[in-house]
Amino acid sequence: MPNIVVLVKQVPDTYSERKLAESDHTLDRDSADAVLDEINERAVEEALLLKEAQGGEVTVVSVGPDRATDAIRKALSMGADKAVHVSDEALRGSDVLQTAKVLAAAVGKVEGYDLVIAGNEASDGQAGAVPAILAELLGVPQLTHARKVELDGTTLKVERESEEGITRLEASLPAVVSVGEKINEPRYPSFKGIMAAKKKPVETLTVADLGIDAGEVGLGNAWTSVLEAAPKPPRTAGQRVTDEGDGGSKVAEYLVAQKLI
């Protein structure tokens, strides 16, 4: 019966205006609506499918400010059993590596975990590397960008999908898996699930609780620094024509003029 940890993240909604704060180039959390990242719903779904088939327990782990509670509650209302929420003002402005360190420490708090499941890439930072870094820090195999996950006892098989095609992977538990968007269709929380989620335990931890020095995290201690950030001048629309039977030729003329063909 696998003991599964699912990582979830609250992100600014892709369909609202996303920007960085002018003062320190951190994410401007007030400018955009906050949602549970879509790929995380698929991670939760995959964990629940494994639990339904093989038993075990699903623990949600999230690192983020207090309002990440909404994302955690959503995962719990889908059917996860409990949650660990790392929330600490000291984390503000942490970069990818710092965040991964905190996640690794938080996963370590879940006793006897067998499997960590995450989304392959968040829609905001898009580093696409946190699950791999987590595997590095935990010293376990990474089976990432999965479009299919099979667990047989302690043997894990994954079909990885990338630009290169499909790679079949195999490793023993414990391991880190990240899922791609073709893995499954996440369920909607039921009314019963939403009510039950309110009673499920959520443990809130600070970085000190994880044994991490506050001097290792946060904007001032990050190993990378944003020097400047500016909204990209919007691409201006160029020429536009209405097809009157010669649209294809018009495009060809344009491409020739631009020396593209």
Partner 1 sequence: MAEVLVLVDHVDGEVKKVTFELLTAARRIGEPAAVVVGAPGTAAKVRESLAGYGATKVYVAESDDAVGYLVTPKVDALAAIVAQASPAAVLVSSTVDGKEVSGRLAARLGTGLLVDAVDIDAEGTVTQSIFGGGVIVKSKATKGIPVVSVRPGSVEPEQAEGAATEQAVELPATDPAKSAKITAREPLVGGDRPALTEASVVVSGGRGVGSAESFDVVEKLADSLGAAVGASRAAVDSGYYPHQFQVGQTGVTVSPQLYIALGISGAIQHRAGMQTSKTIVAVNKDAEAPIFEIADFGVVGDLFQVAPQLTEEVAKRKG
Q: Does residue 67 interact with partner 1 by CB under 8 A? A: no
Does residue 243 come out as left (phi exceeding 0), alpha (psi in the -120 to 50 range) or beta?
A: beta
Whichever of 191 and 223 has its CB closer to partner 1, that residue is 223
Interface of this chain with partner 1, residues 184 to 213, rule: CB under 8 A: none
CA distance 218 to 215: 8
Q: Does residue 241 interact with partner 1 by CB under 8 A? A: yes
Whichever of 167 and 190 has its CB closer to partner 1, that residue is 167
Q: Does residue 258 interact with partner 1 by CB under 8 A? A: yes
Interface of this chain with partner 1, residues 12 to 41, rule: CB under 8 A: 14-15, 18-20, 25, 38-39
| Contacts with partner 1, 123-162, as mask; x by CB under 8 A | xxxxxxxxxxx-xxx-xxxxxxx-x---------xx-xxx
Q: How many CB atoms lie within 10 A of CB 88?
A: 22
Minimum gap (Å) between residue 203 Cβ and partner 1: 26
Interface of this chain with partner 1, residues 104 to 123, rule: CB under 8 A: 121, 123
Whichever of 199 and 232 has its CB closer to partner 1, that residue is 232
Interface of this chain with partner 1, residues 72 to 91, rule: CB under 8 A: none
In the list 169, 196, 202, 219, the residue contacting partner 1 (rule: CB under 8 A) is 169
CA distance 73 to 85: 11
Q: Does residue 49 interact with partner 1 by CB under 8 A? A: no
Contact range with partner 1 by CB under 8 A, out of 47-55, 85-93, 110-118, 170-178: 170-178
Contact range with partner 1 by CB under 8 A, out of 1-9, 74-82, 193-201, 223-231: 223-231
Minimum gap (Å) between residue 77 Cβ and partner 1: 23
In the list 58, 105, 175, 210, the residue contacting partner 1 (rule: CB under 8 A) is 175
Minimum gap (Å) between residue 134 Cβ and partner 1: 9
∠ CA 75-99-41 to the nearest 5 degrees? 20
Contacts of 24 (CB under 8 A, 6+ apart): 93, 219
CA distance 49 to 250: 53
Long-range contacts of 106-109 (CB under 8 A, 24+ apart): 106/61, 106/63, 106/205, 106/210, 107/5, 107/7, 107/61, 107/134, 107/138, 108/138, 108/210, 109/84, 109/203, 109/205, 109/210
Contacts of 135 (CB under 8 A, 6+ apart): 141, 142, 144, 175, 176
